[in-house]
Structure 1
Amino acid sequence: MARHEYQAALEELRTDVAALGDDVLAQLDRSLHALEHDETAAANGVIEGDAEINDRYLELEAACIDLIALQQPVASDLRFVVASFKILTDIERIGDLATNLAGYAIGTDGEAIADVTLFEIGAAAHDLVEDALAAYETGDADACHRIAERDDEIDSRCHRASERVVRDLIEQEAGAVDPWEVEAAIDDVSSVLLTIRDLERVADHGVNIAARTLYLTENDPALLY
């Protein structure tokens, strides 16, 4: 492969990884919409679309392996390919979490999950991932530190939301008479807690993307640990 073709292949990889990230963000958007509006059709669309995301992930993973095996990149090019490989994994896992969230939208009473705090957390996690992908696409190292700092606030909001959900359940149990009502409440609370957990994980994967971007642009591993 000629040098100009090799550089074009690297740029194509960056473009394709960013495009997959954009499509996964769209999946996440649809999942959050399905949760907020209790829309089963939208949730099913996300679940059905996960197979295509997985197929594209595997294709891009293979492209990374081919670049390493056939071109034997060194220095910054090697960091770029390896970081892109890692970022792909985070993108695919965000897609899996979007699928989980869609499943919660189908399996949970809409009223149980109708909490503005959850949707604010979801929007914050979505924006963090979006900014991390933009930093990867443009090589913006400065943005990576700001992205990591924003994750601390999301973690705190998730912790507060979980505490409130558990406290509400305890209060419900204390005043409940029908044991079946208690069981139903526990099921709903479990889904809400899983929703909070997965939103937090979405943001964590966004931070991973920022960390790998900082590493590939500046050879700085500060956010990797």
Structure 2
Amino acid sequence: MRDVYTVKLSRLSDEVLEMGNLCGQAIMKTCQLLASVEVREAATKEIGRIEKEIDDKEHNIEALCMQLLLKQQPVGTDLRKISAALKMVTDMERIGDQATDIAEILNTGSVHVPVTAIPLQEMADYAMHMVNDSVTAYVEGKSDLAKKVISSDDILDNLFDKVRNALDQNTMDFSSDEVLDLLMISKYYERIGDHATNIGEWAEFSVDGIHRNGDSISDLFNPDSL
């Protein structure tokens, strides 16, 4: 019976890693959309497919977590790992949604690509690395890496400010509609960074048993929090 439990716990890490990789792929596809109009149709379809996979992964991980919690009654580190995964998948699902939102803006809005006058690509790359590192911190139990992700959120916030300043300084290069669309895209990347930070905080909790918002294990299983 314990062997089944160990296998399922290992599978949980694999599923979370796969979901994180899908989020990274979705962000990478938005980078392609920013760089070239020629990939627009293919990249948009791929982001839609990836978002569906992310949604499926969320449901699979939630079901696996509940099986582990109800049938095995884990304690200690295992309980933290499982409960953290339940929280993390919500942030990862939203990352998929926001990548889709970025693709929709680039497809239906007024933005001309490639976008090179403002550091959107830099924001996208940084957000993608934050997501990848936060998930790696959870899967590999690296508290230091989780802390690094959490502290680096300020860098993405600063990049968002750079985008706003660049748009202010290059008003002649963009229409008012383009400015609004580009600001919205940059805001989505900034939100992706916020979700990566949340994931990093739960990764830290799974290792150290400490959450920066003061959540306890009992808080995690409040019906209103699930």
TM-score (norm 2): 0.85
Contact 1:35 1:101 in 2 (8 A): no
**Is 1:204 matched with 2:194?**
yes
Contact 2:58 2:89 in 1 (8 A): yes
Which residue in 1 is equivalent to 2:177? 187
Greater C-alpha radius of gyration:
1
Matched residues in 2 for 1:224 and 1:33: separation? Answer: 39
The alpha carbon displacement at 1:186 in A equals: 2.1
The alpha carbon displacement at 1:46 in A equals: 0.9
Which residue in 2 is equivalent to 1:44? 45
Matched residues in 2 for 1:223 and 1:149: separation? Answer: 15
What is the Cα-based RMSD across aligned positions, in Å?
2.1
Matched residues in 2 for 1:197 and 1:219: separation? Answer: 31
Secondary structure at the aligned position of 1:57 is classed as helix
Unpaired segments of 5 or more residues in structure 2? 216-226
Which residue in 2 is equivalent to 1:71? 72
Contact 2:8 2:64 in 1 (8 A): no
Matched residues in 2 for 1:17 and 1:33: separation? Answer: 25
The farther-off stretch of 102-111 and 204-213 is 102-111
Which residue in 2 is equivalent to 1:13? 12
Contact 2:137 2:146 in 1 (8 A): yes
Unpaired segments of 5 or more residues in structure 1? 173-183
Offset from partner CA, 1:57-99 (integer Å, 9 cap, x none): 1121111122222222222221111101111111111111111
The alpha carbon displacement at 1:16 in A equals: 0.8
Matched residues in 1 for 2:214 and 2:91: separation? Answer: 13
Matched residues in 1 for 2:22 and 2:201: separation? Answer: 21
Matched residues in 2 for 1:187 and 1:44: separation? Answer: 25
The alpha carbon displacement at 1:107 in A equals: 2.1
Q: Which amino acid aligns with 2:155?
A: E
Matched residues in 1 for 2:200 and 2:185: separation? Answer: 23
Which residue in 2 is equivalent to 1:221? 211
Which residue in 1 is equivalent to 2:120? 118
| Structure that is richer in helix per residue | 1
Contact 1:31 1:98 in 2 (8 A): yes
Q: Which amino acid aligns with 1:222?
A: R
Matched residues in 2 for 1:14 and 1:165: separation? Answer: 41
Residue-pair matches, total: 212
**Is 1:3 matched with 2:2?**
yes
Which residue in 2 is equivalent to 1:22? 21
Matched residues in 2 for 1:162 and 1:59: separation? Answer: 39
Q: Percent identity?
A: 26
The farther-off stretch of 87-96 and 62-71 is 62-71
Secondary structure at the aligned position of 2:119 is classed as helix
Matched residues in 2 for 1:18 and 1:140: separation? Answer: 14
Secondary structure at the aligned position of 1:81 is classed as helix
Contact 2:119 2:162 in 1 (8 A): no
Change (3 A) 1:130 1:115: farther
The alpha carbon displacement at 1:116 in A equals: 4.8
Offset from partner CA, 1:104-123 (integer Å, 9 cap, x none): 22123324844351101111
Alignment of 1:41-190 (within 5 A): 41=41, 42-108=43-109, 109-111=111-113, 113-166=115-168, 168-169=170-171, 185-190=175-180
